[in-house]
């Protein structure tokens, strides 16, 4: 039922256009950290917003933790895309992140090539959930410190230490407004994914 390559299910339908193979990367981080700016800097379309359901698991003592089971919340998700060629299209999904909850992003993240966790050094707490999630799922990811106004308030070593990021995870600064900077950040993640795929 789920073909490996887009199957020629439309073979008998001459007007059906053969779609590109879609791949995706996930841009994660706290609210207002620059996810949409990042997507918008490199996307060939203006970022679109859709509402997605995210399953939350109440972590520890919280207002919602009296609910014994997982709860589903609707969140706004921004995304854009880059046409690699006529047969391959890269989607970039900005996933909302909140601390306090362990997010179940599986619905969005399943099958992603990799993730980019965006960090605002003034609010390091906001990205714990994303770092934890990618580590837990074994998805290749890097941590990109968005250097607002070219300043970074913490040294990268301190960010790595504060977030308890494993040595093999790249941590670097970038500028969410610069297309070249975003491109290079995505390439860091993809090179990591390639190295892992090559085993």
Binding to other proteins (CB under 8 A) within 54-113 occurs at 73-79, 81-82, 84-85, 88, 90-91, 93-94, 96, 98, 106-108, 110-113
Contact between 40 and 80 (Cβ < 8 Å): yes
| Number of residues counted as binding other proteins (CB under 8 A) | 73
Closest CA to 108 of 48, 165, 52, 187: 52
Footprint (CB under 8 A) of other proteins, residues 6-25? 6-7, 9-10, 12-24
| Residue 123 Cβ vs other proteins, minimum distance, rounded to whole Å | 13
Q: Which is nearer to other proteins, 94 or 170 (CB)?
A: 94
Looking only at residues 126 through 165 of this chain, which bind other proteins when binding is defined by CB under 8 A?
none
Percent helix, strand and coil across the chain, each rounded to 5?
30, 30, 40
Please, which residue, 95 or 121, has the CB nearer to other proteins? 95
Q: Please report how close the Cβ of residue 178 comes to other proteins at its closest, in angstroms.
A: 7
* Residues facing residue 198 across a β-bridge: none
Is 170 one of the binding residues for other proteins (CB under 8 A)? Answer: no
Name every residue whose Cβ is closer than 8 Å to that of residue 54 and which is 6 or more positions away in sequence: 72, 73, 74, 75, 96, 103, 104, 105, 107, 108
- Single out the residue of 124, 129, 132, 116 nearest to residue 171, CA to CA: 116
**The token pair that represents 95 in the structure block:** 């996933």
Between 137 and 154, CB nearer to other proteins: 137
Among 27, 28, 38, 47, binds other proteins (CB under 8 A): 47
């Amino acid at each position: 039922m789920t073909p490996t390559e887009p199957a020629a299910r439309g073979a008998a339908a001459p007007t059906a256009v053969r779609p590109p193979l879609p791949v995706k990367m996930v841009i994660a981080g706290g609210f207002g950290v620059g996810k949409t700016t990042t997507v918008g800097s490199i996307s060939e379309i203006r970022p679109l917003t859709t509402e997605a359901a995210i399953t939350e698991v109440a972590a520890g003592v919280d207002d919602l933790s009296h609910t014994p089971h997982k709860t589903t919340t609707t969140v706004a998700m921004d995304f854009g895309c880059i046409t690699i060629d006529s047969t391959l299209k890269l989607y970039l999904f900005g996933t909302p992140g909140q601390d306090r909850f362990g997010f179940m992003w599986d619905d969005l993240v399943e099958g992603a090539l990799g993730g980019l966790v965006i960090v605002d050094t003034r609010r390091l707490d906001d990205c714990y959930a994303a770092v934890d999630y990618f580590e837990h799922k074994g998805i290749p990811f890097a941590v990109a410190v968005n250097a607002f106004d070219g300043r970074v308030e913490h040294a990268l070593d301190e960010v790595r230490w504060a977030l308890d990021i494993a040595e093999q995870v790249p941590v670097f600064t970038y500028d969410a407004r610069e297309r070249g900077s975003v491109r290079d950040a995505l390439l860091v993640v993809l090179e990591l994914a390639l190295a892992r795929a090559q085993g």
